[in-house]
Amino acid sequence: MWRSGRGALAVLVAALLLAVAGCGGGGSSSGKTQITVWEGYTDVEGNAFKKLANEFDASHKGIDVKILETNNDYALQKVLTAVRGGTPPDVAYLYGSWAPNVAKIPSVVDLTSTVKTKAVNWNDFYSGERAVATVNNKVIGMPALVDNLAIVYNKVLFQKAGVAPPTPQWTWDDFRSAAQKLTDAATKQFGTSYPADASEDSVWHWEAMLWEAGGQILNSDNTKAAFDSPAGLKAMTTLKQMAVDDKSVYVDTTNSKYMDLFNAGKIGMLVTGPWDLSSVQVPYGVQIMPAYPGSSAGHQSIAGPDNWVVFNNGSARVAAAKTFVTWLTAAPQVKEFSLATGDLPTRISVGTDPSVIKQMNDKLPGLKVYIHNLSNVKQARPQVPVYPKISEALGNAIVGVLLGKLSPQDALTQASDATNQALSSGS
């Protein structure tokens, strides 16, 4: 399910400098204000979204919602092209990792005053979602998706190895110890796996570890790298110890083989998100990520919140678009969509509803852990336009450590230098 970065951060956003505000007029259909929504939902999610759009049309006689399916990975490129041509959509589903660059588009509607209304109940969204939707104190979107990371483990392999299942009290030392015991070189069985294609998937796994160790990605004013620190070294050393010293990590350089190997009984546990649960074919359990002993940061996860972004096509269509996204992200619709799709609730009131948790977990066991784990999403990736460059630097550093080509400290220094250069040049 995760749609917040695999390959998406590679999209070049230099075209933003060429973007111009577009006003496509007040489109109407049979006296109604028609708005166009670009989204990339497919299958179950696609059907659930269309159902919600039809429900909205039925209850809002003056507005007609037209859906255009757009591959989420290329949505920003298409939006930029449409903006330059003066024909942007009224609403678009855009990755949260793009938010700093989306905020630069002149025709993006500022939703800061909208989210302060009682109808929105902004504080009912998880803090990580609100942080990603806000750039320089300006709200540029309404939360569309939220995820997080947890341990998914093979119950059979744990039992065979005589290893007790993960608990909420697990530390990274416990995780490492279990991975060692689950590793068997003779049968090519590994304790765990790590996505090592240098993508944002590689990076955001490590960023959660950095936060748990008490570190930060950038300094408080986002002008310099802060991860080259004792906390960063601790998190990077954990990867080195498991992958290089213990050889308990399947280093998945293609980021495409880990699930097949997990289902084949060749990997004991994964740190992954709820999007992978429906693909698991072995008896499994789910537990929150381990923490670092002695760190006051405790258990933390990372989320990849995405946003519904509104574009200015005239006052009538802006008003209609605001009405739609406010309705779409309200608790009743969030509940309906989550129950239909298995996507985690974007609202606290829905995510803490016992009936919702039970219904979702009954359909897909383990989801309740991910829902509860949303309370451990306390931080967001830096809201800076050059984050893709930072991600690239960290991705290369992490893979270098996993493959034994870089020491943890050399990797941090290399990534820090590249990050500082990107921040100072602004590109």
Residue 32 lies in a domain: yes
Residue 2 lies in a domain: no
State the DSSP code for 216: -
Within this chain, do residues 66 and 203 fall inside the same structural domain, yes or no? no
Q: How many independent structural domains does the chain possess?
A: 2
Position 28 scores a pLDDT of 54
Within this chain, do residues 127 and 167 fall inside the same structural domain, yes or no? no
- Residues making up the chain, counted from first to last: 427
Within this chain, do residues 263 and 225 fall inside the same structural domain, yes or no? yes
Q: Which two tokens stand for residue 154?
A: 């093979």
Torsion sign, CA atoms 268, 272, 273, 278 = negative
Query: Helical H runs in 85-199?
Result: 99-102, 112-115, 127-132, 155-161, 172-182
- All residue ranges of the chain with pLDDT < 50 are 1-26
Among residues 102, 147, 150, which one has the least CA distance to residue 126?
147
Within this chain, do residues 264 and 404 fall inside the same structural domain, yes or no? yes
Residue 3 lies in a domain: no
Residue 338 lies in a domain: yes
Within this chain, do residues 34 and 105 fall inside the same structural domain, yes or no? yes
For 264-292, the pLDDT digits (tens) are 999 999 999 999 999 999 999 999 999 99
Position 13 scores a pLDDT of 42
Within this chain, do residues 254 and 337 fall inside the same structural domain, yes or no? no
Position 353 scores a pLDDT of 98
Among residues 274, 302, 282, which one has the least CA distance to residue 364?
274
CB-CB contact of 318 with 310 (8 Å) = yes
Position 360 scores a pLDDT of 97
Residue 34 lies in a domain: yes
Within this chain, do residues 397 and 256 fall inside the same structural domain, yes or no? yes
- The dihedrals phi and psi of 143, each to the nearest 5 degrees, come to -55, 130
> Tokens 């003056």 appear where?
62
Identify the domain containing residue 414 by its residue range. Answer: 150-302+386-425
Within this chain, do residues 292 and 165 fall inside the same structural domain, yes or no? yes
Within this chain, do residues 246 and 355 fall inside the same structural domain, yes or no? no
Within this chain, do residues 33 and 114 fall inside the same structural domain, yes or no? yes
**CATH number reported for the structural domain that contains residue 358 in this entry:** 3.40.190.10
